[in-house]
Amino acid sequence: MAKDGSPEFMTTRLDTIVNWARKNSLWPLPFGTSCCGIEMMAVLSADYDMARFGAEVVRFSPRQSDLLICAGTITLKMAPVLKNIYDQMSDPKWVMAFGVCTSSGGIYNSYSVLQGIDTIIPVDVYIPGCPPSPEGVLHGLIKLQKRIQSGEYSHRERARHQVKQQ
């Protein structure tokens, strides 16, 4: 409870179990556009298996997934599409910015590349690299899992919660 009486977050045993279930059964939406898409496919296939961490069920529909893996350069023509997809996903949802092009525009500082997807959607974990090595991706995924387990409200929900209080 915050000092003014507004509820912040409360962790109970139920939350622990729910978070444990959520982190170990992430259903990714692979939104792969360019070179990082190939590395993402490599992470999802046999040698570096993301299925070991529970992220096996790859669903290409935003209504059925909860982790948006945004891999590859997002251009200004593609940005509204990404926002559309993100808005269609239902809560709780997490976003992984895979590669430097999604984190900050990468090596492309030109007229048609979005300089980081966090300009249009909130991001939970950034994985740098061009393309990131698969070990780095798995490290990022584990970090995301720890974050889910800790029960931290993501900043969107906190922002939404604060808006509700006003």
Partner 1 sequence: MERTEVRENQSLTNQEDSDEIYEDARIYMNIGPSHPATHGTLRVMVRLNGETIEKSISEMGYLHRGKEKIAENTTYHKFIPHTDRMNYCSALNNNVVYTMAVEKVMGLEVPERTKYVRTICCELARIIDHLICIGINAVDLGAFSFFLYGFHQREEAYTIIEKLCGARLTTSYSRVGGLGWAPPDDFLPALKAWIEKFEPVIDEMDRLLTTNKIWMDRTIGVGAFTKEQAMAFSFTGPCARASNINIDLRRDQPEPLLKYDEVEFDVPLGKNGDVYDRYLVRMEEIRQSVKILKQLAQKCPTEGPIWVEDKHVRIPEKDRTFNSMEALIHHFKFFMEGFNVPAGEAYTALEGPNGEFGFYVISRGGAKPWRMRVRAPSFYLYQSLDPMIKGQKIADLVASLGSINIIAGELDR
Partner 2 sequence: MNIQNQVEVIQSKLGSRVSKIEFDRVGCPIVWASPSNAIEVLRFLRDGEGLEYQFMADLTAYDDQDSDEESQGRFVVVYNLYSPENKTRIRVKVRVAEDAEVPTACSVWEAANWAEREVYDLFGIKFSGHPDLRRILLDIRWQGHPLRKDYPLRRYQLFNDPEQIPKQLLEGEPHGKN
The contact set with partner 2 (CB under 8 A) reads 76-77, 79-81, 84, 109-112, 114
**Of 40-48, 90-98, 142-150, 152-160, which part binds partner 1 (CB under 8 A)?**
40-48
Q: Smaller CB distance to partner 2: residue 19 or 73?
A: 73
Q: Which one, 25 or 84, has the nearer CB to partner 2?
A: 84
Distances (CA, A) of 92 to 49, 129, 152, 159: 24, 27, 12, 14
Any idea what the Cα angle at residue 113 is, between residues 82 and 81, rounded to 5°? 15
Is residue 104 part of the contact set for partner 1 (CB under 8 A)? no
Q: Name which position in 18, 104, 128, 133 contacts partner 1 (CB under 8 A).
A: 133
Q: Shortest Cβ distance from residue 87 to partner 2 (Å)? A: 12
Q: Which of partner 2, partner 1, none does residue 46 bind to, with CB < 5 to 8 Å depending on kind?
A: partner 1
The reply to whether 27 sits near partner 1 by the rule CB under 8 A is no
Q: Which residues have C-beta within 8 Å of that of residue 154, sequence separation ≥ 6? A: 92, 94, 122, 124
Using CB under 8 A, pick the residue from 17, 57, 81, 159 that binds partner 1: 81
The C-alpha atoms of residue 67 and residue 29 are separated, in whole angstroms, by 6
Which of 23, 26, 28, 37 touches partner 1 (CB under 8 A)?
37
Tokens of 125: 């974990």
Binding residues vs partner 1 (CB under 8 A):
31-35, 37-39, 41-42, 45-47, 60, 72-73, 75, 77-78, 81-82, 85, 107-108, 110-113, 130-131, 133
